[in-house]
Amino acid sequence: MVKANMVCFLFRLCYEIWCARNKKCFEGTDVDVAATVQKAQRSIVNFKSASTMLVETLSGGPILSIYDVHWTPPFSGLCKLNVDAAGLIKGDKWGIGVVVRDHEVVVVGTSS
């Protein structure tokens, strides 16, 4: 079984490779492979240390651990739009997903 730490690192490494690819394609900047791997490793360490810090919710509520922070519905009468996108590092195929929920967490629209 693959450990969660390894999966987390692989996802972050993929993101850093994507960023390096964008710098090469759009800015003409060469990025060192070792530096890209180190950046992914530093990012994981920074995330883990930030995860132990306490954060105050935007609603001015109590201070919660970052692990207790989750999706919250919008105020009554409003809708909330969540969007995510994915694509291949090489290629021009991209996907986007959209979901709209009301204050009762009822899905009022989706698209992909």
Asked if 79 contacts 107 with a C-beta cutoff of 8 angstroms, the reply is: no
CA atoms within 13 A on the CB side of 59: 10
Asked if 39 contacts 32 with a C-beta cutoff of 8 angstroms, the reply is: no
Range of the domain at 107: 71-112
pLDDT of residue 68: 57
Same domain, 13 and 51: yes
Same domain, 46 and 10: yes
Residue 85 phi/psi, 5° resolution? -140, 155
Same domain, 19 and 41: yes
Split into its structural domains, the chain has a count of: 2
**pLDDT class of 93 with cuts at 50, 70, 90:** confident
Residue 56's DSSP bridge partners are 63
Q: pLDDT tens-digit profile of 7-61?
A: 778 888 888 898 888 888 889 988 888 998 898 888 888 777 665 554 444 445 5
Specify the pTM: 0.45
